């Protein structure tokens, strides 16, 4: 293949003579240009030449500036300058610019060809060096990449990476085993095609990381989804089957113990009530009997609450149906009305139109509303006001239970949803187990909702529950 030479000399006659008499006979294929703009256009257009001869001066700008620009853009391209007259200053500049040579005009055959040969040798040297360096860098990059891949492949957690269009980029060994995917190459496939697990597919597309996925063998995995800008999404699956089992055992334990405790308590209460019927008791005995009764009542309530919590925690959502929340709230209001009236409280539901259903457990949702309204009635002093509101906003159902009772100090608001926590400013004599709001929170979580309280001590409390509404099919 002939070596390509770009000859940029102002005078077309000089260029033509050099091409015809010197370079072409020596095997060069020569392209001639006569100013800087044409030289740039020629470089942009086709394949890069093997070397360039640039006349100085060249119309269209400073030849040294041009050399500097070309060197920055094509560092391995050899450039030789042809000058009408070579000054010491120019020689210095040409060395600084990284020129192969700087020869005078008129062009002498031997000088021109020997400069061209040196240019070609330099090009070869530079390109060889570049190739070796690139090889070295890509080699170490590839090694790092395969190390990273090996780590991802070997970790015990399942890892799945998809691009922004949810096409598979990588599936590791643990994930293949979890879903029985074998050794097939899934790269580029959609996740629906590759992993036939709708919950995992949904988890990858949804936000948040509260997803749990079960495989065919019944093992349960916690899915953590992270979005990576410019890449896509990474899902990591951690086996939590042992935690689930522990949770189940704990639930069983609480249930069994609670049941076993409840039966003797019922017997105690029965016999205590019989004492009064069996014969006359004096006033002190009657007081003792009352104390036993109220202790038994308190313990029974605690056990009942523990059982309820155990049930909502373990049972999560057993019976899922579209639930009419307005009906639940209306029923709860009717149930608490006598208690409220006894305390001279007003208990009202703000007028609401039709509302969409919530998908969930009717029993649990009633329990949640009962607990919130029950607390409001319980903690608000006589003559107080309790307002319940229901509304829909952006596919969410919002329930407010507001009272003008003692409120909850700001620093304790984060803790009232914990088990057994009772706030410091609750009026003395108001009994409770501290489990009601823990039950409420578990139920709200089971329904993928949120709950919080707005309150300040002495200023009443507003409990807000936000639940996603059932999507129409």
Judged by the rule CB under 6 A, the positions of this chain that interact with ligand ADP are 375-376, 379, 403, 405-408, 416, 421-423, 426, 432-438, 461
Kindly state the smallest distance separating residue 407's Cβ from ligand ADP, in Å.
6
Q: In whole angstroms, how large is the CA radius of gyration of the chain?
A: 42
Q: Taking a C-beta distance cutoff of 8 angstroms, is the pair 60, 37 a contact?
A: yes
Q: How far is the CB of 369 from ligand ADP (least distance, A)?
A: 13
Residue 200 or 423 with smaller CB distance to ligand ADP = 423
Q: Which two tokens stand for residue 78?
A: 């050899």
Residue 465: CB minimum distance to ligand ADP, A: 13
CB of 285 to ligand ADP, least distance (A): 31
Rounded least distance, CB 262 to ligand ADP, Å: 18
Q: Which tokens belong to 50?
A: 């093997």
Neighbours of 468 (CB within 10 A): 16
171 sits in which H/E element:
strand 168-171
Instruction: Please check whether residue 10 is in contact with residue 61, taking contact to mean a CB–CB distance below 8 angstroms.
Output: no
Which CB sits closer to ligand ADP, 178 or 380?
A: 380
Phi, psi of 329 (to 5 degrees): -65, -40
Nearer to ligand ADP, 367 or 375 (CB): 375
360 vs 407, beta carbon nearer ligand ADP: 407
- Whichever of 49 and 405 has its CB closer to ligand ADP, that residue is 405
Least separation in angstroms between residue 410's CB and ligand ADP is 13
Q: What is the rounded distance in angstroms from the CA atom of residue 467 to the CA atom of residue 448?
A: 7
Q: Of the two residues 97 and 438, which places its CB atom closer to ligand ADP in the complex?
A: 438
DSSP for residue 22: I
Q: How many CB atoms lie within 10 A of CB 218?
A: 8
CA nearest 377: which of 463, 272, 253?
A: 463
* 384 upstream amide cis, omega within 30 of 0: no
Shortest CB 146 distance to ligand ADP, Å: 55
Give the residue from 341, 270, 301 showing the smallest Cα distance to 430: 301
What is the Cα–Cα distance from 55 to 105, expressed in whole angstroms?
9
Residue 79's nearest CA partner among 62, 103, 60 is 103
For ligand ADP, give the closer residue by CB, 63 or 332: 332
Q: Report the residue number, 99 or 416, with the smaller CB distance to ligand ADP.
A: 416
Nearer to ligand ADP (CB atom), residue 66 or residue 306: 306
Tokens 């000089």, residue located: 14
Asked whether 451 and 445 are in contact (CB, 8 A), the reply is no
Q: How far is the CB of 261 from ligand ADP (least distance, A)?
A: 18
Report the C-alpha gap between 32 and 16 in whole angstroms: 8
In the complex, minimum distance from the CB of residue 140 to ligand ADP, in angstroms, rounded to a whole number? 60
> Exposed (0-12), middle (13-18) or buried (19+): which is 302, by Cβ within 10 Å?
middle
């Amino acid at each position: 293949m002939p070596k390509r030479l770009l000859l940029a000399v102002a005078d077309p006659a000089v260029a033509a003579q050099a091409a015809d008499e010197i370079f072409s006979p020596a095997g060069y294929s020569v392209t001639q240009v006569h100013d800087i703009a044409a030289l740039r256009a020629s470089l942009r257009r086709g394949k890069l030449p093997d070397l360039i001869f640039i006349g100085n001066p060249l119309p269209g700008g400073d030849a040294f500036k041009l050399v500097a620009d070309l060197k920055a853009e094509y560092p391995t391209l050899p450039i030789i300058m042809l000058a009408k007259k070579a000054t010491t200053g120019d020689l210095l500049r040409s060395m600084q610019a990284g020129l192969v040579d700087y020869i005078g005009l008129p062009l002498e055959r031997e000088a021109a060809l020997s400069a061209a040969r040196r240019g070609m040798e330099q090009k070869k040297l530079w390109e060889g060096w570049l190739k070796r360096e690139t090889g070295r860098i890509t080699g170490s990059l590839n090694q790092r990449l395969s190390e990273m891949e090996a780590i991802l492949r070997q970790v015990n957690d399942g890892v799945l990476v998809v691009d922004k269009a949810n096409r598979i980029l990588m599936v590791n060994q643990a994930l293949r085993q979890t879903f029985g995917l074998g050794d097939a190459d899934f790269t580029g496939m959609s996740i629906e095609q590759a992993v036939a697990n709708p919950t995992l597919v949904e988890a990858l597309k949804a936000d948040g990381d509260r997803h749990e996925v079960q495989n065919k063998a019944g093992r349960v995995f916690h899915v953590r989804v992270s979005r990576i800008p410019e890449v896509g999404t990474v899902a990591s699956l951690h086996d939590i089957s042992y935690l689930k089992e522990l949770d189940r055992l704990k639930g069983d334990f609480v249930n069994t113990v609670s049941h076993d405790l409840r039966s003797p308590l019922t017997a105690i209460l029965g016999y205590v009530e019989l004492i009064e019927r069996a014969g006359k008791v004096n006033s002190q005995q009657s007081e003792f009997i009352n104390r036993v009764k109220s202790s038994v009542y308190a313990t029974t309530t605690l056990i009942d609450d523990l059982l309820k919590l155990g049930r909502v925690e373990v049972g999560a959502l057993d019976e899922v149906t579209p639930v009419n929340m307005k009906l639940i709230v209306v029923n709860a209001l009717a149930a608490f009305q006598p208690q409220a009236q006894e305390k001279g409280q007003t208990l009202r539901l703000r007028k609401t139109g039709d509302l969409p259903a919530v998908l969930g457990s009717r029993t649990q949702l009633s329990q949640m509303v009962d607990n919130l309204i029950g607390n409001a009635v319980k903690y608000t002093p006589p003559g107080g006001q309790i307002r319940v509101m229901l509304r829909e906003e952006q596919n969410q159902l919002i329930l407010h239970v507001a009272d003008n009772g003692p409120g909850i100090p700001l620093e304790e608001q984060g803790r009232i949803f914990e088990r057994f926590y009772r706030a410091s400013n609750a009026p003395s004599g108001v009994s409770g187990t501290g489990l009601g709001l823990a039950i409420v929170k578990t139920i709200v979580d089971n329904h993928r909702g949120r709950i919080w309280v707005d309150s300040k001590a002495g200023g009443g409390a507003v409990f807000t529950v936000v639940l996603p509404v059932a999507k129409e099919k």
